[in-house]
């Protein structure tokens, strides 16, 4: 497999990106263009980043094997959008075996086939839903959220509650507390139990449309 661009490897994270001690690995590339993106580097040229194969990444993050085993932690794949790298994640799981937890932090705005492709190898999902209202979502990300909601429904039905955490942000200038409450109500209706309501840090990169 060709090496893929990775713009960050952050070790010793506790209770931020999944269970136990985790290492966060962030992939280049994201289909969204969030106005307050904190990882805008993910849209930068791959030439500016280090590239890894699943094998070379496994070797690098393996330095924390004992922490992962002792705390039931592991690796969290973020980005960017990790579900653009499903072949890499599948191969990484083969190397890591079942002793490490694998979490993805995803916007879920990818084809359902990508979600299905990793469903058997990913343990937990942290999903940044933005806002369930399509107009707010479009204004904030420049993208449509139809696929997001379909993918979430599939995950609820096939992966199960205990493995899903949906983050619902208050997005300054884009949604109101009432909008957030409506998103949460819609998610609860879909059967989502673990919801993290939080405030986005504002660091605007692009002019508002
Ligand atoms: S989904 Fe995340 S990485 Fe992608 S543009 Fe939005 S905030 Fe940035």
CA of 192 to the centre of ligand 1 (A): 22
CA of 18 to the centre of ligand 1 (A): 18
Pocket flag, ligand 1, residue 37 (CB < 6 Å): yes
pLDDT one digit per residue (tens) for the chain, 209 residues: 899 999 999 999 998 888 999 999 999 999 999 999 988 999 999 998 999 999 999 999 999 999 999 999 999 999 999 999 999 999 999 999 999 999 999 999 999 999 999 999 999 999 999 999 999 999 999 999 999 999 999 999 999 889 999 999 999 999 999 999 999 999 999 999 999 999 987 765 555 44
- Strand runs labelled E in the chain: 4-14, 21-27, 50-52, 74-78, 101-106, 124-128, 164-170, 195-199
Q: Tell me, what's the pLDDT at 208?
A: 46
Rounded Cα–Cα distance for residues 108 and 145 (Å): 9
- The residue whose CB lies within 8 Å of the most ligand 1 atoms, and thus the one to mutate among 34, 81, 147, 169, is 34
Domain ranges of the chain: 4-199
Q: Are 109 and 147 in contact (CB under 8 A)?
A: yes
Pocket flag, ligand 1, residue 80 (CB < 6 Å): yes
Q: Tell me, what's the pLDDT at 205?
A: 57
H-run or E-run covering 190: helix 177-190
Which of 190, 54, 20 minimizes the C-alpha distance to 62? 54
Q: Tell me, what's the pLDDT at 209?
A: 45
> Cβ atoms within 10 A of the Cβ of 85, count?
25
Rounded Cα–Cα distance for residues 42 and 20 (Å): 26
Pocket flag, ligand 1, residue 127 (CB < 6 Å): no
What is the pTM for the complete model shown? 0.94
For domain 4-199, the CATH superfamily is: Aldolase class I (3.20.20.70)
Q: Tell me, what's the pLDDT at 1?
A: 86
Q: Tell me, what's the pLDDT at 202?
A: 79
Pocket flag, ligand 1, residue 32 (CB < 6 Å): yes
Beta-sheet pairing, 4-14 with 21-27: antiparallel
């Amino acid at each position: 497999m060709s090496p893929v661009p990775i713009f960050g490897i952050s070790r010793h994270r506790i209770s931020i990106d999944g269970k136990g001690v985790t290492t966060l690995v962030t992939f280049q590339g994201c289909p969204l263009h969030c106005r307050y993106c904190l990882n805008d580097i993910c849209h930068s040229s791959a030439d500016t980043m280090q590239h890894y194969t699943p094998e070379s990444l496994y070797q690098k993050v393996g330095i924390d094997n004992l922490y992962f085993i002792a705390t039931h932690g592991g690796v969290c794949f973020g980005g960017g959008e990790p579900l653009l790298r499903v072949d890499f994640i599948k191969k990484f799981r083969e190397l890591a075996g079942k002793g490490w937890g694998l979490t993805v932090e995803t916007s879920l705005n990818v084809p359902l086939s990508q979600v299905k492709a990793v469903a058997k190898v990913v343990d937990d999902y942290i999903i940044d839903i933005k806002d369930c209202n399509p107009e707010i979502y479009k204004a904030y990300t420049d993208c449509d959220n139809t696929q997001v909601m379909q993918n979430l429904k599939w995950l609820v039905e096939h992966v199960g509650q205990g493995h899903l955490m949906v983050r619902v942000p208050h997005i300054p200038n884009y949604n109101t507390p009432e909008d957030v409450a409506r998103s949460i109500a819609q998610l609860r209706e879909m059967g989502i139990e673990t919801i993290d309501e939080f405030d986005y840090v504002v660091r605007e990169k692009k002019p508002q449309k």
